[in-house]
Amino acid sequence: MFQDFNQILQEHNLLKKDNHILLAVSGGVDSIVLFHLMQNIPETKRPKLSVAHVNHQLRPEADREEQFVKQLASRYRVPFYSFIWEKAAHPDSGIEEAARNIRYSFFEQLMKQNKMNVLMTAHHQDDQVETILMKLTRGSTLAQLMGIAFSQSFSEGELVRPLLGFSKQMLYDLAKEQQWEFIEDSTNFELGYMRNRFRNEIIPLLRNENQQFDQHVIQFASDLEDLLEVSKTSIETAFNKVVRKKQDSWQIDRLKFSNLSAATQRMVLKTLLDHLYKNEKDLYKSNYIELLQEWILNGEVNTQLDLQNDFIAMKGYESICFSKQGPETSSIDNEYFVLDAVGQWVQLSEYEKIGLFPFDSADRKEWNRDSLLMEEGKFQLPLTIRHRQAGDRMRYAGLKGSKKIKDIFIDEKVPVKQRNQAWLVEDSLGTILWLISYRKMNLFTTKETDKLIYVLKYKKDEY
């Protein structure tokens, strides 16, 4: 095993003298074997080593473990760092995840302070098998089913796990053969933890069915990694063909998406969800891919799906928009503004304003889409500028009777987000005079009149 271990380090360029490796040592057999294997490397080839230990204060023997690791490091003249996680700081639930976060935060802090470039942990083959089965049971992405990676970026260097190719039994056998002392973690046999149930009950049953069970799981993960690597290019090509990234959203072209095969559609959606949830604490739900596929192909236009972690998907006529839900998309804003005098502007937003002014018939520029001409007596001040509300109706030029604002938007194929952001103007009698940018009441005739004429101007700065 010594030779195999050294070969692994050489293949991954870990035997450089300028490396400074931080060994995570708990005192259990796994990390103790890792420590001694690193010490066994000839001094001329051995990188600089340091040891880190976290005393979680979760077991009666926690203090004894800390002293044991400290003495071991001292015996070999290896710098030793420890952190005590006081009981008062323990959470009421999620203790495993919290403990892991504490450990790696401590490791990262040490690496930055001491210019260490490699963190080495003692994860082994049994950990790999347990992890794959647990993720399969919980429901995970295909990429996650590849299990624990040999190496990954961490802090300002990398995290490596050189024992992944060795079973737990191999580590026990080597420790016994070399007479290396270690402390057995008593909580490893408590069935209150999911990993322990897999380790002590479920996996032993599967090994009884097939002695090669562990190797088959590892081979499955390896084959899956190869398959994902081979399919990556074709999936990325399809994804880039139908999906566009905007500043704060992702958009799928409906027509191009519908022309893909069903399997490719699902992989495109999976890739998109992976992007959306990349930095999220919680993974998206496993049924999202099939749910979104059915909705995109057969769901009604101008509908919305609320996804986990405040993401939303809005379906328009030509595209589907995915974004993080915020104040402007979560619901229709109830904000309103009052315009109660001629000759004034009212600021609607940072880049929008509206004002009421006497009409200059010589200025033909005022006859445009962003203005409304109104005769005296055909409206009543004050005017209220607001967003739509349920049941809103209006009359406009060319229409007999009135029409729901909602139906106007449907006829115009206006996306849901733009509907919620559109402004409408109503007078003091509650009559909707103008659905800005879409419909206007006919409040002005071109016939000669001695009545005063006003122009309501809407201005929007491009940004």
Domains with residue ranges and CATH for the chain: 2-209 (3.40.50.620), 233-329 (3.30.465.60), 336-460 (3.50.40.10)
147 is in an annotated binding site: no
Q: Was 29 annotated as part of a binding site? A: yes
pLDDT of residue 414: 83
Q: Facing residues of 356 across strands?
A: 344, 456
**Enclosing H/E stretch for 163:** none
pLDDT of residue 446: 63
Work out the angle between the directed axes of helices 213-242 and 262-276 (0-180°, nearest 10).
90
Residue 54 labeled ligand binder: no
Which pLDDT score is estimated for 329? 40
pLDDT digits (tens, 9 = 90+) for 24-39: 999 999 999 999 999 9
Two structure tokens written together for 188 = 């490893």
Distance CA 435, CA 439 (A): 5
Computed over every residue of the chain, the mean pLDDT equals 89
Peptide bond into 382 cis (omega under 30): yes
Instruction: Quickly count helices (H) and strands (E) in the chain.
Output: 15, 22
252 touches 320 (CB < 8 A): yes
Least confident of 62-66, 89-93, 217-221, 258-262: 89-93
More confident residue, 299 or 190: 299
Provide the greatest CA pair distance for the chain: 110
The structure tokens listed for 205 are 């049953």
Distance CA 90, CA 87 (A): 5
Please check if 282 is assigned to a binding site: no
Tell me the pLDDT tens digit for each residue of 335-365: 899 999 999 999 998 889 999 999 877 666 6
Q: Quick one: which of 150, 221, 183 has its CA closest to 65? A: 183
Compute how many other C-beta atoms are within 10 angstroms of the C-beta atom of residue 337: 17
Res 97: pLDDT: 86
The answer, yes or no, to whether residue 241 has pLDDT greater than 50, is yes
**Measured between alpha carbons, how far is 325 from 292 in angstroms, rounded to an integer?**
17
Backbone angles phi, psi at 422, to 5 degrees: -65, 145
Is residue 222 a known part of a binding site? no
- State yes or no: 28 annotated in a binding site: yes
Residue 332 binned pLDDT confidence (cut-offs 50, 70, 90): low
Is it the case that residue 391 has pLDDT exceeding 50? yes
pLDDT at 325 over 60: yes
DSSP letter for 284, please: P
Tens digit of pLDDT for each residue in 126-179? Answer: 999 999 999 888 877 777 778 888 999 998 899 999 999 999 999 999 999 999
Q: What percent of the chain has pLDDT over 70?
A: 95
Q: What SS3 state is found at 267?
A: helix
* Tokens of residue 318, six digits: 């030509």
